[in-house]
């Protein structure tokens, strides 16, 4: 779990454009101090059952990975459970399947500005080594996702989103399939991601396996 966690955190920080993050191994897992201007000051990525720093400071999150995939524990006094997620992985290459929709890679600042103009999609970092993909419908961006490399041959997929006007058409699976094929062409051998509970079914259907249940706590 430690190697997987380290790879996830490195790719996560890169995929979100958090250049300058200070990432360090800790007895409980990985500690990250984010650069100025980030949503959080810092984050503890911890394996369940290991002692973690307490109490949390404001704007410092605790993200706990449970390889036994049990339910999230109630938060300690003074903290709230921000989200329950799943840490998932798939080996590449996957069996090839015909794409039902064309997938486009965005490579220019103008194209990324188009993506950022829609509130459906989180701000997309234009950092070197972050690869962006979209599916269009009716001249609009209907689904989007991006990735960055973690450690070794791992990539970390981040912020997969489908516009509400275009859901339940297989667009999320299409943009993911195009992204994973591109990653394999770049030398990737495995894809990692953090999935919401709503997204778990999609990723499982695409061959992802759950490595751990994830609970995120904050003050």
pLDDT at 98: 65
Polymer length of the chain:
219
What is the spatial distance between Cα 35 and Cα 76, in angstroms, rounded to a whole number?
A: 27
> What are the angstrom distances between the C-alpha of 110 and each of 91, 95, 106, 200, 217?
33, 33, 9, 32, 36
Rounded distance between C-alpha atoms, residue 31 and residue 24, angstroms: 5
Q: Are 152 and 188 in contact (CB under 8 A)?
A: no
- Show the low-confidence residues of the chain (pLDDT under 50): none
Give residue 52's pLDDT: 85
pLDDT of res. 68 = 96
User: How confident is the model at residue 92, as a pLDDT?
Assistant: 96
Work out whether the CA dihedral 103, 104, 106, 107 comes out positive or negative: positive
Are the CB atoms for 32 and 13 separated by under 8 Å? yes
Separation between Cα atoms, residue 158 and residue 163, nearest integer Å: 16
Contact 158, 148 (CB under 8 A): yes
What does the alpha-carbon distance between residue 62 and residue 44 come to, in Å, rounded to a whole number? 5
Cα separation, 144 vs 124, in Å, equals 10
Would you tell me how many other CB atoms lie within 10 Å of the CB of residue 214?
A: 23
């Amino acid at each position: 779990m430690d190697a997987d966690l380290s790879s996830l955190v490195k790719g996560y920080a890169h995929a979100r454009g958090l250049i300058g993050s200070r990432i360090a191994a800790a007895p409980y897992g990985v500690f990250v101090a984010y650069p100025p201007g980030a949503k959080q000051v810092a984050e503890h990525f911890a394996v369940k059952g290991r002692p973690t720093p307490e109490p949390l400071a404001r704007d410092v999150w605790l993200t706990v990975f449970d390889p036994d995939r049990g339910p999230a524990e109630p938060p300690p006094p003074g903290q709230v459970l921000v989200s329950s997620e799943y840490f998932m992985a798939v080996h590449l290459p996957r069996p090839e399947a015909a794409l039902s929709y064309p997938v486009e890679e965005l490579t220019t600042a103008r194209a990324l500005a188009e993506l950022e103009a829609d509130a459906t999609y989180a701000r997309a970092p234009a950092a070197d080594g972050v690869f962006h993909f979209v599916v269009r419908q009716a001249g609009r961006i209907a689904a989007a996702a991006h990735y960055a490399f973690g450690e070794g041959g791992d990539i970390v997929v981040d912020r997969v989103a489908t516009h509400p006007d275009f859901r339940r058409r297989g667009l999320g699976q299409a943009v993911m399939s195009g992204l994973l094929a591109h990653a394999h062409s770049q030398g990737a051998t495995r894809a990692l991601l953090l999935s919401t509970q709503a997204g778990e079914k999609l990723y499982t259907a695409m061959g992802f396996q759950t490595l751990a249940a994830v609970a995120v706590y904050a003050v």
